[in-house]
Amino acid sequence: MNFDLNEEQLSVQKMVRDFVANEITPNAKQWDQEETFPMDLWRKMGDLGIIGTSIPEEYEGSGMDFISHAIVAEELGYGCSSMRGSYSVNISLVAKTILQWGTEEQKKKYVPGIALGEMFGCYGLTEPDSGSDAASMKSTAEKDGDYYILNGNKMWITHANLADVSIIFAKTDKDKGARGITAFLVDKGTPGFTPQPIHEKIGLRAQDTGEIVMENVRVHKDNMLGPEGKGFAVAMSALDNARFTVAAGCVGTAQAALDVAKQYAKERIQFGKPIAAHQLVQQLIANAAVDIEMGRLLVYRAGFLKNKGVRNTRETCMAKYFCGEMVNRVTYDMIQVLGGYGFSAEYPLERMYRDSRINTLYEGTSQIQQLIIGNNELGIPAFA
């Protein structure tokens, strides 16, 4: 495995890093405070090719590899976790899932618009009473001629109120558990399909989150994503991609926190010298640097396997588990370096700390990642 980024990857890194420094980082605090998502900037990202970096050229992407995809996620995570989260959902959960499971008509209808930043997608798996145990979902899809009638609720759905297309999972056979789940593509404005916003979150405040209520939603059979009864496989394949993107974003946020703390430690004078000269501060900095580097290498390892097209659930779960926990450790410790200033909005660490908390919860909790890894190590068939 070559640890050097190639010329194309370095070019992507520079482009996105410069864009983040100029357009995202200076505005992230305001977006967080106002709970607003910068739609104009998102479309600008689409025009520059940042969103569709890893989407094939035939669907308006750049056709780059998974390492380039991780680089984009890391750089976006450096500037604003809400922006990285939107990238993760639109590309990893929605566009790549449609590319893997969709018909050619479905791919052409949805993927180019998402890659160009002109469309939003959402991923409707979680329900009020169904989180880690996805097979226990209560949403149903009853066949009615050439249509399916969807009923149920989805909860904690990113882009619920923005999405032009929603991947919705529902049971076409309530007696078959995971094997009775089917995935559907539901267009915005479909009668009976009603999103509702969720506010007052700890973090990711600039990112739209909502609940979806489905009351007799009629969806044509041509809008089925993948075969009937294969929805659980569709969902898990999507999570393999999303967990990878989340992990990469965690590396970026942790790196940003470390950079803020290093700069502060060089400037803050205590006991007659910069606090960077005190060994216990250096210990916090050193531990963070090692954590970040370990996380980045786990992400690149998973990306390396994804580029080869081989199974990578184990490595992706390792990256997501480690990086989700790591970014919480790092942001916590970097606030410690800043002391009282880290506890205030004068510095971005408090926002990074709040935004980081979700990473051990969504796309599979840390405990779910541990179960998947443990099952893999022991040769036990995994449920996810």
- Residue 361: give its domain's CATH number: 1.20.140.10
Last residue of a domain, one of 120, 147, 174: 120
Same domain for 216 and 104: no
Last residue of a domain, one of 189, 211, 232: 232
Q: How far is CA 289 from CA 39, 274, 350, in A?
A: 34, 19, 19
pLDDT-based confidence at 2, cuts 50/70/90? confident
Would 254 be classed as within a structural domain?
Answer: yes
The stretch 239-248 carries a mean pLDDT of 97
- What span, in angstroms and rounded, lies between the C-alpha atoms of 150 and 193? 9
List 35, 57, 363, 377, catalytic entry? 363
Q: What is the pLDDT of residues 303-324, one digit of tens each?
A: 999 999 999 999 999 999 999 9
Tokens of residue 123, six digits: 């991923």
Q: Where are the beta strands (DSSP E) in 25-146?
A: 121-124, 140-144
pTM for the structure as a whole: 0.96
Would 56 be classed as within a structural domain?
Answer: yes
- What span, in angstroms and rounded, lies between the C-alpha atoms of 145 and 201? 41
Q: Mean pLDDT over all residues of the chain?
A: 97
Domain that holds residue 87: 7-120
Same domain for 101 and 58: yes
Q: What is the pLDDT of residues 65-96, one digit of tens each?
A: 999 999 999 999 999 999 999 999 999 999 99
Same domain for 149 and 45: no
Would 384 be classed as within a structural domain?
Answer: no
Q: What is the pLDDT of residues 30-69, one digit of tens each?
A: 999 999 999 999 999 999 999 999 999 999 999 999 999 9
Q: What is the pLDDT of residues 273-298, one digit of tens each?
A: 999 999 999 999 999 999 999 999 99
Would 330 be classed as within a structural domain?
Answer: yes
Q: What is the pLDDT of residues 123-150, one digit of tens each?
A: 999 999 999 999 999 999 999 999 999 9
Same domain for 88 and 109: yes
Same domain for 266 and 133: no
The stretch 197-206 carries a mean pLDDT of 97
pLDDT-based confidence at 382, cuts 50/70/90? low
Would 383 be classed as within a structural domain?
Answer: no
- What span, in angstroms and rounded, lies between the C-alpha atoms of 298 and 300? 5
Would 2 be classed as within a structural domain?
Answer: no
Q: Which pLDDT score is estimated for 1?
A: 67
Same domain for 205 and 127: yes
Tokens of residue 294, six digits: 């370990």
Instruction: Enter the DSSP assignment of 130.
Output: B
Report the domain count for the chain.
Answer: 3
CB atoms within 10 A of CB 366: 17
Residue 384 has pLDDT above 50, yes or no: no
Ramachandran area for residue 156 (φ above 0: left; ψ -120 to 50: alpha; else beta): left
Same domain for 165 and 208: yes
Residue 363 has pLDDT above 90, yes or no: yes
What are the residues whose beta carbons fall under 8 Å from the beta carbon of 281, sequence distance 6 or more?
265, 275, 337
Q: What is the pLDDT of residues 98-125, one digit of tens each?
A: 999 999 999 999 999 999 999 999 999 9
CA 299 from chain centre, in angstroms, equals 14
Same domain for 37 and 103: yes
Asked if 23 is an active-site residue, the reply is no
pLDDT-based confidence at 327, cuts 50/70/90? very high
Would 1 be classed as within a structural domain?
Answer: no
**Domain of residue 166, CATH code:** 2.40.110.10
Last residue of a domain, one of 202, 232, 262: 232
Q: Which pLDDT score is estimated for 381?
A: 77
Same domain for 309 and 256: yes
Same domain for 243 and 140: no
The stretch 152-171 carries a mean pLDDT of 98
Q: Which pLDDT score is estimated for 325?
A: 98
Nearest to 132 by CA among 227, 233, 33, 236: 236
Same domain for 131 and 72: no
Same domain for 157 and 95: no
**Domain of residue 63, CATH code:** 1.10.540.10
Q: What is the pLDDT of residues 248-277, one digit of tens each?
A: 999 999 999 999 999 999 999 999 999 999
What are the residues whose beta carbons fall under 8 Å from the beta carbon of 26, sequence distance 6 or more?
none
Residue 383 has pLDDT above 70, yes or no: no
